[in-house]
Amino acid sequence: MLPVLFKLGRFEIHAYGLLLAISFLLGIYWAMSRADRRGVDRNMVMDLSLIVVLCAIFGSRLLYVVTHLFEFKGRWLDTINPFQSTGQIGIAGLSMLGGVVLSVIAILIFCHVKKLSLLKLGDILSPAFGLGIFLTRIGCFLNGCCFGQECGLPWAVKFPLTSPAGSIFQGIAIHPTQLYASLYGLLITVILFSLDKKERFDGFIMSVFFILYGVSRFLVEFIRYAEPSTMAPGGIALTLNQVISLVMVVSGMVLFIILQRRSSSTPEST
């Protein structure tokens, strides 16, 4: 675990923050280069990417606050500070899935206002989301947050007592769910990049991303440590993240089927 990479006087470089910044910069650069191939104005992609960055931070904070309201009693102003957390689970009080959901909503609104193709923009941005998951989850591992349950496997990890994971599982080996998530983020990125080498119908990459990410996050949640406040309402034995993941999977499958049928029924121009 290495939450602080190095210090310059009082100035600290945190592993998670650095990897988050790198993922944003690489994601924006990659999306702009992909925009040229799909005939989309790269300036529009730049504008949207900046909006997505803000929504990713705000959405991640919003989901964390909603599921951890007990932390903020008497300190409600702290809810608007994305770099404050007294809890054990979230890195700086952020929950990544909330950022993904709000970013998707922002993309929908942006495309409607600017009269752009949602499907093309979704295809352009989706691999960058996978890259972001890959990088930022490494930061989670170095910070010791977003951790798993007790585990007896050879690769189980014991975190220091000073970390969020170690403070709950003191001296106990647990699943490194951060690395599992980083791995599926990398696999999603590679799969989407490989699929995109061939001409596909608009929306293909975006719908596949929804399915792959939703399934991956849903499965990892079974072995990830969850506070009672993060469980889904209604008494079902799933976390709120799993419910959101299922919605993403179903949405991706429905979108894929609709677009595939539309593509098949459209005669090729000669």
DSSP per-residue string spanning 168-225: HSTT--B--HHHHHHHHHHHHHHHHHHHTTS---TTHHHHHHHHHHHHHHHHHGGGB-
pLDDT in tens, 106-164: 988 999 998 888 999 999 999 999 999 999 999 999 988 889 999 999 999 999 988 88
The position carrying tokens 């189980």 is: 156
Q: Please say if the pLDDT value at position 70 is more than 70.
A: no
**Whole-angstrom distance, CA of residue 28 vs CA of residue 67:** 30
* pLDDT over 70 at 92, yes or no: no
Asked if 151 and 173 touch (Cβ cutoff 8 Å), the reply is: yes
pLDDT digits (tens, 9 = 90+) for 178-195: 999 999 999 999 999 999
Does 87 have pLDDT greater than 60?
no
C-alpha to C-alpha distance for 48 and 12, rounded to whole angstroms:
30
With a cut of 50, say whether residue 78 has pLDDT above it: yes
For residue 269, the model assigns a pLDDT of 44
| pLDDT per position as a tens digit, 198-257 | 989 999 999 999 999 999 999 999 999 988 878 888 778 899 889 999 999 999 999 999
Phi, psi at residue 198, to the nearest 5°? -105, 150
| C-alpha distances in Å from residue 96, one per residue of 43, 57, 124, 141, 208 | 26, 8, 20, 14, 19
- Considering only CA atoms, give the Rg of the chain: 19
Q: Distance between CA 164 and CA 228 in Å, rounded?
A: 16
Residue 80: per-residue pLDDT: 59
C-alpha 112/C-alpha 173 separation (Å) is: 48
**Are 99 and 105 in contact, with CB atoms under 8 Å apart?**
no
SS3 assignment, position 126 = helix
What residue has token string 């102003």?
Answer: 77
